[in-house]
Structure 1
Amino acid sequence: MRFHYALVDDILSREEFDRLVEEKAALYGGAIDETAAALLVVEDIGRAHQKIGSITPSPSLVSLYGRVMRLTEPKEFTRDDGSVGCVARVELADETGSIILVLWDEKAAGIHEVGTGTVLEVIGRPKEGKKIEIHGLAVRVTGVEIHVPVQKESSLPSEADIDARILAIQPPRAFVRRDGGEGIICEAIIGDPTGSARLLGWDSTLFDTLREGASVRITGAKRRSTDDGVEYLLDEGSAIIPLDNEIGLLLTPPGEVMDKGVYSVRGQITTVHPARPFTTRKGDASWVRNLFIDGPLRIVIWGERARDPFFPGEMIEVYNASARLNRYGDVELSVGFGSAISVIPNLSCDVQIEGVIVLSPEGVAFAADGNLYIPESKDLMIAGRYRLKGRLSGVRLSVDEAELIVTDPRDLGARADELVSLSPPAVRY
């Protein structure tokens, strides 16, 4: 009965609870055992077992029955005080939905005693994150029967191999581990004919071999579904093998993007709005930019990528972006964390042109022949005159050679004299 008393120990003393259980059993003439009587007492007090689909974040404890659909191996970690902890996660389900049960220390270590299909009775505290989780305080196997309909894909990792195309490779990010040490997480976005996903790992050597556009076979990855899409997690047992054949990619027509869901799209830019600065909820400075592609579809770009140059007429591809309704009721794709945007190059031609490096609304630009070009080089001096040799695609100039042209001051003086001689005479009034 101690198990069920935990649900009402903030209301009743143990002695009073035991008395009520005895009275309930006597009321049924001994036809029910102590466990059933305790359940009825808990229900009378308003702390009955809940269906999984009705659980919401609450400071109060909740109780539930759930069938084990999937579970993870216990993992050890080091707490801030230096002690070693253990955690495991179990996916439970009933006819109303599924939820993740988080078990700590001894309960996590005992997860090997539980098999898939076992029904558990749980007392725990609901915690809110991306999804509601139950942190288990008391767990036991029960003989209660639960019918679980066909489930949606599990949110816990499962082993998976996949053939995919590398769509984008993100810069490695540093993070602080629970033990205070620093780690590096590597990330890429991959796609195949069924959709797109994030690829995450902590071994940079695996990612060093990747290049955007390559087709690969990924083995030994952990597949996990989240509210933000699908993720593949790499560990020491994973491998990435190059493929000779090109893997296809699912691209949704812009006009078919619906509210909610994760999409990859391709379209021609029709309108570009300037990047705007804003302050995040954490107080950090950031940027946002809106542009439209034919369809029509609004693309919202967040963070430093919003400051990248984009031009009407360019073809872009957006990968693994979340769709949502904006405040005007229109669908838009949000390019932020876990997504990417890429400009598809036009046909290019070899050029050699002279001009001056200037600042434009789109950043550093190359002014030549009355036009502005965007040079793909970071080593050009503002106001410097250059002779650039490379390949021109639209307004983007891929620079192979950059020659700084040093102007002789005498030539500037001669040019100034020439301009003065061409000026009309002053008019006196």
Structure 2
Amino acid sequence: MEENLRNEYEKVKDKISEEDFLKKIELLMEENEDNPFYNEMSAAEMIIGKLSSEQDVDQITSDEDSDIIKIDELLDQRRDVNIAGRIMQMSNPKSFQSKNKDGKLCNLTIADDTGSIKVVFWTENIRLLKEYNEGDLIKIIDIDIRKGYSGLEGSLKRRSTVKRLTEEECPNFPKYNEVITNIEDIEFAEDVTYNIIARIIKIPNIRSYEKNGREGKVASLELQDSTGKISYTLWNKNVDLIDSLELHDGDTIKIVGAVPRENRDGISLTHWDGRIIKGDFDVPDFEENITPIGDYQEMQNITVLGVVTKLQDVKTFIRSNDGSEGKLRSFSIADGTGEIRVTLWGDDVEIDLNKGDIVKIIDCTERSDEYTVSGYSINTNWNTQIVLNPPVDEERLAIFEEIKSSLHPVTLEYIQESDDDGLERDVIGRMMVIHEAREFERDDGNFGVVRSILLADGTGKAELALWGDKASDNYKLGKIYLIENARTRLGEMDVSLNVGASSRIIELDEEIAAKYNIPSFEELEEDIYTYKSIDELDEYDRDIKVIARIIEVYDPREFERDDGSRGVVRNIEIADATGSIRLALWDDNAEMPLEVDDPIKLENPRVLYNEDHLELGTTRNTSILDPSDEEIDSLPTPDELRETIYPQKEINALEDDDRNVRITGVFKDPSNNILLAKCPSCGNRLEPDSENDDGAVCSFCGDVIDEPNYLLMLSGRFEDDTGEVQITFFDNLVEELLEMDKEEIISYVEEEGVGIFEGKLDDLSGMTMEVIANVRFDEYNEEVRLSPKKILDKYY
């Protein structure tokens, strides 16, 4: 037994055993399971109260023939008692949550000829009240009495019952007089409540607030009768009555027990323990004055009605006064007389608005706004009511339907065929290419972010330029997206779309594909890109697709652009069954993890002519993808590819334009000039006698060089049974042959000179090597030369 219960038990241990004491606590806890305020201490105090008044503690039931106890004779902790009285006040059921269970309670105030008491009906008891109203006489059987916030109160248990009494049985009970007060006659006074009958003319949106670290909600209904208007405020759980009673603008209600409040705006009413009854009461109709949007002028407390024609995403901001975060959302509405921008604040931004919705905005302000086309905008406040898709008359509905019909997305074919520049359009399509976001510097020195995406819909394609936050979001390749409020931009060859702060990007389900006839990703890919094998490539090819395997991967290297920024480039070589080609990867693409033999798919690469052969390059509009299983199956295996791409040749069969030939020979006469100094600015070779007091001077660009770039090179002759040819190894192949890394080689040469490598070079002379090499013609010496790319094997 816990210490607090032990202390209570000590008070009655001479009247009941500890075992029976705990059993009765358990029994009382079960009986009051629906009461969230009932706990073991409540049960213990109830038992002690009965023992102290010398009641039979074994009595756990009461019947309707038991004596009725007068209200002024009730004592705290009495249980299983019967009381009678007239219902003087009845609340609407309220919801609560206790012990992870949802429940309800309803408060009644009943009075007899000696006093009044509040009685709480819990979840299981509320059904007993369906036949009763204020003024009825009732007997409540088998309830417990406890001390509440405002004195003693009764609490029903699961087995409690209610019986109707007659006037003859209770001749001296106080009468119930339901006085209906006109709104104009309501005054503030302590301990006074009012009953009113009125029509709801406005239900503002529910607001949230925070007090003492706890979050609450509030809604203030605007009511009107024939004499005036008044605000009626619901707090926290009582706000749920709007939904549970299905309250709407125009409904007539009776409110019993409304509490008056006085504030700087005058008198208002608050819902406490009273009751709202929805019915068909005799209250004058409310005539609503709707202001045409086209009546552009500054106005307050107006109501507008229109179709949502443009919708922006929610934006956050930091308030300057307290540093807290706020939210706003802008959208536009039109009614046939004009179009205007509306701004929502706070909780209202969560309203589920969609383009094409009819929206009524009650109690808003129209103000001048130099940033809008009309010169005016609508601002909302905490008391504004937003009504979605309200009923409208036939004349307005016809106008609104015509406006809606113009809001559908247009095809990308329409975008490309139009000459519109700077107009906002909605489009739907699949994202076919998603490039990485990149940072740029604006003219004012600030930095921005932009991202390029290719969208296709089966009728055409368009490049999207996403700016700011839109560029930073995560998008899924091949998914369908609705792009709202994209602004057209005319280019030299096509029309692109700018997607910025006022635009929306919405991912759609695949069901939308059928509705808008959007082909699958694979079908669009086939439609957009023309597949070409490597031997079919031509200079300036556009919108092509190349599928190949990687046969060589070179190290990335940094370079300096004209503007002083640093870039990265990496060369790789790819091949299919028809041939091979070099591919230049730039910046982020240069950092991709790539392995020899990996399959690779290129969409929209750049094809260019470099000296005497074609090369591929990537641009911002190039996609590097993993091929599908079917596409991989169409490629030769790595072994098959090596047999095709690396033809075996003898020296006497070499031709000037041979590439990737496999040749075996003996390396001899290695040169000891293995380190070539180059200008880091222009790449020109530095002559040995170019040094002066300030350092080396480039004979080409004139720069004084503190630290040159070095190229490793090892030249010699390569001989087989058919002849011999000049061969030169560079950088990583020199490292492989000397079995040293580049920095180590440079350090040795600078400190000891090239003579230190004589032993290693002698060992290389006479070594048989199998290499993959390109062939070029040396016009000066009028002979072909080998430029090895890979050493396949070496042995003596």
TMscore range, shorter length: 0.3 to 0.5
The answer to which structure, 1 or 2, has the higher relative contact order (CA under 8 A, 6+ apart) is 1
Would you tell me which structure has more strand in proportion to its own residues? 1
Q: Compute the TM-score of the two structures, normalised by the length of structure 2.
A: 0.24
- The higher radius of gyration belongs to 2
